Structure 1
Amino acid sequence: MSDEEQQEDQKPFAVEVAKNGRAACKKCKEKCNTGAVRIAKLMFNPFGGAGKMKAWHHVDCLFEAFLKQRQTTKRIESPDDIDGWDTISKEDQKHILQKIDETDEAFIKKHGGSTVKKSPKKQPNTSPSSSKASNTTRNMVEKSEEKIKDEPDKSEKPTEPNKDDLFKEFRRLVADITNVSSYLEKTECVKDMFTKGTNGKQFKGTIGLWCRLLLPGFVKRVYNLKNKQLVKLFSRIFGADQDEMVEDLEKGDIGETIQTFYEGSAKVKPAKKSDLTIREVDEFLERLTLLTKEDDQIDHFKSILPKCTSNDLKAIIRLIKGDLRMGAGAKHILDGVHPDAYEAYQASRNLDAVMEKCLKNDGKTRSKNVKADITLMTPVLPMLAEACKSVEYAFKKCPAGMYSEVKYDGERVQVHKKGSDFKYFTRNLKPVLPHKINHFEEYIPKAFPHGKDLILDSEILLINTNTGEPLPFGTLGVHKKSEFKDACVCLFVFDCIYYNGESLIHKTIKERKKILSENMTEITNHIVFSEMEEIHDPKDLAKMIAKVLQMGLEGLVLKGLNTTYEPGKRHWLKIKKDYLFGGAMADSADLIVLGAWYGTGKKGGMMSIFLMGCYDPHTKKFRTVTKVHTGHDDQTLAKLQDELNMVKISQDASKVPSWLKCTKTMIPDLVAKDPKKQPVWEITGSVAILTTYFLLSKKLL
C-alpha cells in the first residue's frame, strides 16, 4: 500500500490510555495524566513526512473544541472515526458515546437545527456499541436533512495559532531582554510578557513552554552538535563552501554564520514570513536530541527550514548551543514568572516542577507562597563559598562563630540514596563517572545503618590506605589507579541535607551536623567525616590555616554556626593561600605563549584565550600546560592582536607544527610562528591549575 493510500485509510481520530503523562492537551495546555484516556485529532504535519501529527486532547476538551469549529470541519460522528477504540474500557467508551450525542445535539441547536451529513468512506463497524452510536448520530442528521442540502466534506485546515504562541514573538522578547542592561529591566520585560501578552491585556501562551526555550542551558537536552559539526551539516544543506563558513565562524557567533549563509544560499531560500510556533520549535529540538547520524540530522533540519526565516534559524541554532546571547540567566527569567520561582529552582533544579509549583492549573495564574524545597534523587544546586582574604573578614561574616572544615583537593559529590537505589552528582549536577563511586553502594548502608533515604554533601579523593593521607589532585582519573597500589577512593562527608523523608535545608548547620554525627558510622578509608573544628577565637582560626597550608592541603571552608543550607548561594567562606595577603602566596610560573583561540561575543574575531606552555629538553619540543582566559584588559588585548605573531591552523590536528606536543583538546585556532620569539608571561593560579606544570617542568626551565 502506498503512503497516499495509507493516509487515505487512516482514521481522523485516535484514542488511547496515556502512558507517561508528558503530552499536554492542545486546548487547555494541561498534561494528559498517566492512566487517563486521551483522544487525538490527526493534523497536518508541519515538519513533513508521510504520516499526520496527532494533536492530543483530554476527551472533554476535544468535544468542547468541536462546538467552536465550522460546520464543515470534521468531528467524531461514531466510533468508526476513532483508531484504537477497542483498546479502551467499556466505561470510557460509554463516556465518549455520550459526548458524541451531547455534541451533536448542541451543534444542531447552535446552527438552527441544522448540521452537515458526512459520507462514510467505508462500512461502519457492526459491534453493538458502534451501531448504537451510529444510529443516534444518524437520526439527528436525518432530522436536519430536510432543512439543508448536503455539502461536500472539506479537509481541515490548521487553526490559526494565538499570537502568544508564535516563535517570532519569542524572538521579540529575547531582543527586548538583550537591549536593556539592568537586572530589573530584563526581569520587567519577562514579567510584562507573561502578564500582558503581545496584545497588552492578557498572556494567552504557555509560560512553562516559553521558559524552557528562554533557559536552553538549564534544560536537560543533549544535541552533541559542536560548532564545526553544525558548519559541516549546513554547508551540505546550503551547498556552501565549508572552509568559507569556518572562516566566518571566527567572528565568534555560529548562529550569525549560519544565518549569513542561509540568506546567501542558492539551494535553500529562507521563508519570507515567520509562521513557526514555539511548540513546533520545542518539539523539533526534542526530536533532534534523538538523532546521532549526520544524514538524519540533515533531514531533520530540512524539515523545518521551509517555515524558517533567517532570524528564526539563527535563534534555533542559539537554542541548540544553549545561549540566546541576551545577557540573562535563570534568575532574570524566573523572577519574571513568580517571586519565589528562582529560589524553588535553586532547590530542585527541575524547571517543569517549578512551573507546576508556581502556576495554577491554567498554566498562567501565579500560585501564592511557593516553598522552595529539595527532592530526593533530583540534584540540588550545591551551596557555595566566596573568597575570604583574612581572619578579620571571616569573623565579620560569622560573628557568632563558625565551623572550620578542611578543603581537600578532591571532587565534590552529592550522594542520593533512596532505599537500595543510588545517584551521584558532580558540582555541576552531572552524573559522576561510575569508576569513582560504584563501590560506595557497599559501604554507605554500613555507614548509615538506619538511613533509608538521604542526601549527602561530600568530597571524594584518593587516599593512601597505609597512612590515610590524601593523594594529589588529578589522581582520581581512571588510568591513575594502577599508579597507586596502596590507595582507594574515599568519601569525606561534611553535610547531610535530607534524611529519612525529611528535608534538612531549613535547619542550621549545627543541627545538621548533629543529625549527621548521630546517624553515621565511619568506615575507615571508605566513608569518613570531613575534618572540622568549631572556631570562636581568631587565634584558633589562624592556627588552623597554618596547619592545612603546611600539610599542603587546598585550604579551609568556613560556615557560620547558625546558617541554613541555601542551594546556589555563596554564603560560606573559603580560605586558600591564593587569597591571603593580596595573593602574595599564590603559585606562579613563567610560561610561553604558544597559541590562541578566537573569542565569542564582543571578543569575536579576536585572540582572547591563550595557550601557555614550556620547553621540554628531553623531547626537544614545546609542551602545553594550561589555557589562560583572563588577566588582560580590553586595551591590552587589542594590542596583542598585532604584537603576537601567529599562524592560523583552525584547530586542525594535521596542521599542528612538529615543534609542539599538544593533546587533541588543546589544539588552538592559531599557533606561534616561531615559539622562540614569543613573549613569556607570569601565570598566577592555584596549585590545582599549575600541578601539571610542576610535574613536567622540575628540570625543564
Structure 2
Amino acid sequence: MEMQEMKELAEVNGTLEERTVNKGEEECAGGGAQGKLEPPKPSRAISSFFGECGGSVAPLVQGPLGWGGVVPLDPMEYNPSKSSYHPVQDACWGHGQRVPYLAVARTFERIEEVSARLKNIETLSNLFRSVVALSPSDILPCIYLCLNRLGPAYKGLELGIGETILMKAVAQATGRQLDQIKAEAQEKGDLGLVAESSRSNQRTMFTPPKLSAAGVFSKLQEIARMTGSASMNKKIDIIKGLFVACRHSEARYITRSLGGKLRIGLAEQSVLSAIAHAVSLTPPGQGFPPEVLDAGQSKSAEARKAWLEEQTQILKQTFCELPSYDIIVPILLEHGVESLPQHCKITPGIPLKPMLAQPTKGIGEVLKRFEEAAFTCEYKYDGERAQIHILENGDVHIYSRNQEDNTSKYPDIISRIPKVKKDSVQSCILDAEAVAWDPEKRQIQPFQILTTRKRKDVEAAEIKVQVCLYAFDILYLNGESLVKEPFSRRRQLLHESFVETEGEFLFATSMDTCSLDEISEFLDQSIKDSCEGLMVKTLEVDATYEIAKRSHKWLKLKKDYLEGVGDTLDLVVIGAYLGKGKRVGMYGGFLLACYDEESEEYQSICKIGTGFTEESLEKHYSFLKDHVLEKPRPYYRWDSSTEPNHWLAAVQVWEVKCADLSISPVHKAAIGLVDEEKGISLRFPRFLRVRDDKKPEEATTSSQVAHGLYRRQQQIQNQQLVEKAEEEEDFY
C-alpha cells in the first residue's frame, strides 16, 4: 500500500497516529476505527476497505467502553483460557463495538498451544460468551472464522488461494523479496509464521486501522466471490490490504485461512460444543449489562457438566437436521438452545449429511447382530450418493454426500424427476445413488465411467455418460420429517410416491430374508449385476434414519469382505518412492496416510506397491509429479524409516484394501488410541481406485482406523461381543 493511500485510509478511519504513541493506547480495541462502529464515508475505494462488514453482519452502534465504564483490555492481554473468565470484564472490546480480529487470533493461539479438547472447548466458548454479551451480531462471522468456512457447504463459496499467490502477497505487503519468503516458508514449513514474523519486523509511519472479525470475514467472502481474468490481481490487492493492517499473530491466521487450513486442531464438533456452552452459560438477549453471566454457577460440577452436555446434544441434533449456521444462529440468539427443536426442522433445499453403514466381515456377523430384528438386503450400487430435494415451488436440487450442490452436474436427473414423482408429492427429500448406465446393454457401468462425466455446468445435449438414479430412502415428504419413522414405513412411502422408469429412475433391488443361503445367493447375484455387494438394514426395530452417523442399523456386506478386513479404506497419498526394474522412470510405491480430525494432521499408515497396472502407474506419475514438495508438510506425521524419495501435497484420495491391521512401531495412524506410543498399519495393502469424489479431509479418520476397523478385527478374532467403544460415531 502506498504511503499516501495509507495516510488517507488512516485519516478516514480517524486513526492517524504516530508510531511513538503509547503501546497500550495504540492497541486498545476501542482506540481505532474497528472499535468505533460508525462506518466511515469513503473518499476512495481503498478508504472503505475496513469499514465493510458484509451483508450478513448488521451494523452495531457505539455503546459504553466496557463494564461500568472500564476501558477494555489491551487485545494482547486477552486470554479466553483463564479460569473464572468474565465475559465482559475480561473482553478486549466494549459493548456495541466490533469484535477485534486480534481477539479471535489470540483465541486461536491458546487453542493451538493446548491439545486438550475439553479445555479448548472452554476457551472458545469464553470468546463466544463475550461476543454474545457485547456484540451478538458478530457471532456468525466469528463462528465461520473458527471453522475456516465462508458459508454453508452447499453454497460452494471457497477461497482457492494457492501458496504461490499468498507468498507473492506477503512479499508485496511486507516489502520483502519473494525468494526470501519462499526460503523462509520452506525452512519453517508454515507460511503463516513467515507472514507473522515478516509483518512484526515491518515498520510503518502511520498505524493502519485495526482489523475486526466481521471485516476480515467480509473480505474473505469478497475474495471468494471474485471471478474473471483480472480477479487474481484484485484478490492480491485485498490480501495485501489485510496483511498491512495485521498485528501480532493476526497475519499467521489470516494466511492459514486463505490457504484453507487453520491447523489449530479445532474440529467442528468442538465448535458446536463451544457455541452450546456459550449461549447456555451467558444467555443472549439480556440487554446490557447482562444480569446472568454464568447460568451454571449455582450448579455442582457434576450437574453443570451434565447440563452442558444436554444442551450440546440439543444443538448437535438440530444441526444434523438443519446444517446451516446462517439459520440456526439467529434462532439460537433469539430463543436459546432448548427451543431449537421447535424452530429448526429438516427443510428441502438444505442438504443433510447422510447416514452411513458399518462394515461387516461375513453373513454370520450380520445374522448375529440382527438375530432378533427383521431386516432387508439391498444392492449396494457403485456410484455417487445423491440427495434429491424437491421444493414446493417445483425446483429440484441435488446434493453430494458432502453437501455440495451437484444440481448443475445432473440436468438429466433434474428433467426426469417431474415424470417419475406422483402428483401427491409436493415436497420431499430422497436418498439415492447416481450410477453410470449403458442404455444399449441395459446394465450398470463401473464407477470409473461415472467419474469421466463433467463436474459442473453440464449441458444436457453434451452428456455422453448416462446415469440411472437408484432411490433407496425417503427422509421428508410433504412437510413431514420421516427420519424417526422405521425403514419399513419409509420404504413403503417411497414406493407409493414414485414410479420406476428403466435406465432413469429405479428403486434399489432388495430382498427381505433371514436365510444364510438366500443372503449368500443374493450377494452373488448383486456382484453379477455389477454392484459392490449388499446393504443390510433393519426394518422395524432400531430402524430410524440416523443423520450424519455411521450406524450399526445399516451394515455393508461386500464380496471381498468375506476375507480379510471388513471394509476398504480411503487414504491420502503423501509420498512416493522411485520405481525400479520395470517401474524405472515412474513411481513404484507410495506412502499413504489417514486423517486425524482432532490434530488436523495426516498420519502414515502404510507403504503400497500392489494393485497397480503399468497404465495406472503412468497416470499416477503424470498427476503426482506436479504436486511434489521439497519437504513434508508440518502436519504430516511419519517415521524417518519410511521417508519417501518425493514428498507429495495431500491432494488425492485412494481406496485401498488390506488383509488386516496391526500395531506398528513405525506408522503413526491412530497413535495413542489403541497403544500409547505405537500406531496402526495395514498388512498387504492393495490399490483399488482413485476416489475423485472425496477431498483429503474426508479420508478415513484415525478414529475409524482404531475403533471401526482395528478393534472390530480384534473382537471378531477373539469371538467377543462388540464393545461400547465401537458404538455409532459421528460422521461429521
Which category of TM-score, normalised to the shorter sequence, fits these structures? 0.5 to 0.7
**2:173 alignment counterpart:** 237
**1:383 alignment counterpart:** 355
Q: Structure 1, residues 346-374: CA drift from partner, whole Å, max 9, x if none?
A: 2222111121232326xxx5443535531
Asked if structure 1 preserves the Cα contact closer than 8 Å seen for 2:610 and 2:685, the reply is no
**1:659 alignment counterpart:** none
2:339 to 348, 351, 368: 368
Asked if structure 1 preserves the Cα contact closer than 8 Å seen for 2:265 and 2:600, the reply is no
Structure 2 residue 558 is matched with structure 1 residue 576: yes
Asked if structure 1 preserves the Cα contact closer than 8 Å seen for 2:111 and 2:123, the reply is yes
Which is worse superposed, 241-250 or 486-495? 241-250
**1:271 to 1:598, Cα distance in 2 relative to 1, 3 A:** farther
C-alpha distance in 2, partners of 1:290/1:312? 23
Asked if structure 2 preserves the Cα contact closer than 8 Å seen for 1:405 and 1:558, the reply is yes
Asked if structure 1 preserves the Cα contact closer than 8 Å seen for 2:322 and 2:345, the reply is yes
C-alpha distance in 2, partners of 1:606/1:306? 36
Asked if structure 2 preserves the Cα contact closer than 8 Å seen for 1:217 and 1:323, the reply is no
Secondary structure at 2:341 match in 1 = coil
2:106 to 168, 172, 191: 172
**1:640 alignment counterpart:** 642
C-alpha distance in 2, partners of 1:286/1:322? 13
Give the drift of 1:222. 1.8
Give the drift of 1:461. 1.4
With the length of structure 1 as denominator, give the TM-score of the two structures: 0.62
1:287 to 222, 226, 232: 222
Which is worse superposed, 568-577 or 523-532? 568-577
Give the drift of 1:213. 1.5
Secondary structure at 2:500 match in 1 = coil
C-alpha distance in 2, partners of 1:618/1:65? 66
Asked if structure 2 preserves the Cα contact closer than 8 Å seen for 1:465 and 1:486, the reply is no
- With a CA cutoff of 8 Å and minimum separation of 6, indicate the structure with the bigger relative contact order: 2
Structure 2 residue 124 is matched with structure 1 residue 190: yes
**1:345 alignment counterpart:** 319
Q: Structure 1, residues 212-248: CA drift from partner, whole Å, max 9, x if none?
A: 2111247343222122222233233334343443444
Structure 2 residue 144 is matched with structure 1 residue 212: yes
C-alpha distance in 2, partners of 1:385/1:425? 19
Partner letter of residue 167 of structure 2? V
C-alpha distance in 2, partners of 1:522/1:504? 21
**1:42 to 1:204, Cα distance in 2 relative to 1, 3 A:** closer
Secondary structure at 1:460 match in 2 = strand
Partner letter of residue 390 of structure 1? G
Structure 2 residue 403 is matched with structure 1 residue 471: no
Give the drift of 1:523. 1.0
**2:386 alignment counterpart:** 413
**1:565 alignment counterpart:** 545
Partner letter of residue 363 of structure 2? V
Asked if structure 2 preserves the Cα contact closer than 8 Å seen for 1:414 and 1:457, the reply is yes
Partner letter of residue 256 of structure 1? L
Which is worse superposed, 290-299 or 493-502? 290-299
Asked if structure 2 preserves the Cα contact closer than 8 Å seen for 1:598 and 1:608, the reply is yes
**1:490 to 1:219, Cα distance in 2 relative to 1, 3 A:** same
Partner letter of residue 428 of structure 1? N
Secondary structure at 1:315 match in 2 = helix
C-alpha distance in 2, partners of 1:521/1:649? 48
Q: Structure 1, residues 132-154: CA drift from partner, whole Å, max 9, x if none?
A: xxxxxxxxxxxxxxxxxxxxxxx
**1:666 alignment counterpart:** none
Asked if structure 2 preserves the Cα contact closer than 8 Å seen for 1:47 and 1:303, the reply is no
Partner letter of residue 168 of structure 2? K
Gaps of 5+ in 1: 11-39, 70-158, 652-680, 691-701
2:433 to 439, 446, 459: 459
**2:263 alignment counterpart:** 325
Give the drift of 1:528. 0.7
Asked if structure 2 preserves the Cα contact closer than 8 Å seen for 1:252 and 1:603, the reply is no
Asked if structure 2 preserves the Cα contact closer than 8 Å seen for 1:357 and 1:370, the reply is no
1:335 to 258, 270, 273: 273
**1:394 to 1:272, Cα distance in 2 relative to 1, 3 A:** farther
C-alpha distance in 1, partners of 2:471/2:602? 46
Asked if structure 2 preserves the Cα contact closer than 8 Å seen for 1:167 and 1:278, the reply is yes
Give the drift of 1:686. 3.7
Secondary structure at 2:124 match in 1 = helix
- What are the within-5 Å matches in structure 2 for residues 602-617 of structure 1? none
The structure that has the greater radius of gyration is 1
- What are the within-5 Å matches in structure 2 for residues 248-647 of structure 1? 248-250=184-186, 252-263=189-200, 275-292=210-227, 293-338=231-276, 339=312, 340-360=314-334, 366-368=337-339, 370=341, 373-398=345-370, 399-418=372-391, 419-432=393-406, 434=408, 436-450=409-423, 451-476=425-450, 477-478=452-453, 488-562=466-540, 563-571=543-551, 572-583=554-565, 593=587, 624=621, 637-641=639-643, 644-645=644-645
Asked if structure 2 preserves the Cα contact closer than 8 Å seen for 1:424 and 1:431, the reply is yes
C-alpha distance in 1, partners of 2:432/2:439? 19
Partner letter of residue 190 of structure 1? L
C-alpha distance in 2, partners of 1:605/1:447? 44
With the length of structure 2 as denominator, give the TM-score of the two structures: 0.59
Give the drift of 1:290. 3.1
Partner letter of residue 684 of structure 1? R
Secondary structure at 2:379 match in 1 = strand
Partner letter of residue 478 of structure 1? R
Partner letter of residue 242 of structure 1? L
Asked if structure 2 preserves the Cα contact closer than 8 Å seen for 1:447 and 1:522, the reply is yes
**1:392 to 1:294, Cα distance in 2 relative to 1, 3 A:** same
Asked if structure 2 preserves the Cα contact closer than 8 Å seen for 1:271 and 1:308, the reply is no
**1:509 to 1:202, Cα distance in 2 relative to 1, 3 A:** same
C-alpha distance in 2, partners of 1:458/1:331? 27
C-alpha distance in 2, partners of 1:275/1:479? 44
Give the drift of 1:160. 6.1
Asked if structure 2 preserves the Cα contact closer than 8 Å seen for 1:274 and 1:309, the reply is no
**1:427 to 1:467, Cα distance in 2 relative to 1, 3 A:** same
**1:684 alignment counterpart:** 686
C-alpha distance in 1, partners of 2:174/2:605? 31
Give the drift of 1:397. 4.2
Secondary structure at 2:249 match in 1 = helix
Gaps of 5+ in 2: 13-36, 67-92, 277-311, 571-578, 629-635, 651-682, 693-732
C-alpha distance in 1, partners of 2:97/2:63? 22
Give the drift of 1:438. 0.9
Asked if structure 2 preserves the Cα contact closer than 8 Å seen for 1:252 and 1:604, the reply is no
C-alpha distance in 1, partners of 2:266/2:200? 28
Partner letter of residue 163 of structure 2? N
Asked if structure 2 preserves the Cα contact closer than 8 Å seen for 1:578 and 1:587, the reply is no
